[in-house]
Amino acid sequence: MSAPFIAVEQLRKTYSVKRGLFGRGRPLHAVDGVSFEVEAGGTFGLVGESGSGKSTIARMLLAAEPASAGRLRVGEHALERLGRQGARQFHRTVQPVLQDPYSALSPLMRIGRIVDEPMRIHRLHRPSVLDARAAELLSLVGLDPVMARRYPHELSGGQRQRVAIARALGVEPRAMVLDEPVSALDVSIQAQILNLLKDLQRERGLTYVLISHDLAVVAHMSSRVGVLYLGEFMEIGSRDEVVGQARHPYTQALIAASESRVDASRAAAGEIPSPMERPAGCPFQSRCPHASARCRVEKPALRALSPTHWIACHHDVPAIRIAPEAVAA
């Protein structure tokens, strides 16, 4: 088998947080020993509530901040060993599409300049052809090239996200980190953007890491899924296993939230604990309906249910069996 395009091994991110001006720093474990792989052209979905560590992983995948420990490789780039030249090449390899397209686009620049700016930075084309190239990219994402003369405030939220995608495509990346790419958009527009991303992936062989609190979005896009809670995986496997045969109580809570269309950013009863006040034993035990005395003192390790399906739970909770397509609908 060929090597995965993205390989993450025991990734950790710890911050030192002070209380007060002269307080001692206390560790905040935002990501705690996460491992996963993404095959070339595939989509790995990271799902979990707000505060679970998803966006911290995104920043490390984009080399926006370093990992505290672990290994992270994207294509031929080992992120812990990126030099200046390697970083320049890496940022052509991986591009972000972020949650809020308005804050990601300069309000002082016209759309055409926003789209061609990365190509200018990386010197990919002669200045004389940049306007034409920007027009091609706008057409590629379903926008009229005449929009190149407009400013971001003159576009709708969905149009601005298409501009952000066009800008990312300009440097011909091989992978994209999609951090909540549709959560700021109207429901009627979300499916259009997700289907655009799927079409681009199929046409260009792009590799995606998709980050979302909404399991329906992850089920629609992903081939493999990791369910994150307090910086650790509770369940990981193929989409059909994790979404279609969910075994961890936390995954089941996310499915219930998705089916009932409640706020998926707060799926289970109670609040997600602070990473600085992590409960003893299982991270999820304070909110789990199946928690036992063992859960309160002993942290479960990931255990295999199949060669591709793993959960971190002491108990054999009956699976929720549901067609993934029904969750994604």
113 inside domain: yes
Q: How many CA atoms lie within 13 A of 159 on its CB side?
A: 14
What is the model's pLDDT at position 260? 61
Please check whether residue 206 is in contact with residue 173, taking contact to mean a CB–CB distance below 8 angstroms. Answer: yes
Q: What is the CA radius of gyration of the chain?
A: 21
Instruction: Divide the 329 residues of the chain into consecutive groups of 10 and give the mean pLDDT of each group.
Output: 88 86 80 96 95 93 94 93 85 93 90 95 90 96 96 95 96 96 90 96 97 92 96 96 94 84 55 82 93 95 95 92 70
What is the model's pLDDT at position 21? 66
71 inside domain: no
Please check whether residue 327 is in contact with residue 216, taking contact to mean a CB–CB distance below 8 angstroms. Answer: yes
319 inside domain: yes
**Predicted TM-score (pTM) of this structure:** 0.91
What is the model's pLDDT at position 267? 55
246 inside domain: yes
Q: How far apart are CA 191 and CA 231, in angstroms?
A: 28
Q: How far apart are CA 115 and CA 3, in angstroms?
A: 32
86 inside domain: no
CATH number at residue 324: 3.40.50.300
Q: Which residues contact 23 (CB under 8 A, 6 or more apart)?
A: none
78 inside domain: no
Q: Which residues contact 274 (CB under 8 A, 6 or more apart)?
A: none
* Structural domain count, the chain: 1
- Residue 256 belongs to what domain range? 39-65+93-328
Q: Which residues contact 46 (CB under 8 A, 6 or more apart)?
A: 54, 57, 209, 210, 211, 212, 218, 226, 228
79 inside domain: no
What is the model's pLDDT at position 268? 65
Main-chain phi, psi angles of 145, to 5 degrees: -55, -20
What is the model's pLDDT at position 129? 92
What is the model's pLDDT at position 265? 47
252 inside domain: yes
What is the model's pLDDT at position 148? 96
What is the model's pLDDT at position 1? 55
Q: What separation in angstroms does the CA of 190 have from each of 146, 169, 185, 315?
A: 23, 19, 6, 37
What is the model's pLDDT at position 27? 86
Q: What separation in angstroms does the CA of 151 have from each of 109, 118, 259?
A: 6, 17, 38
Please check whether residue 254 is in contact with residue 265, taking contact to mean a CB–CB distance below 8 angstroms. Answer: no
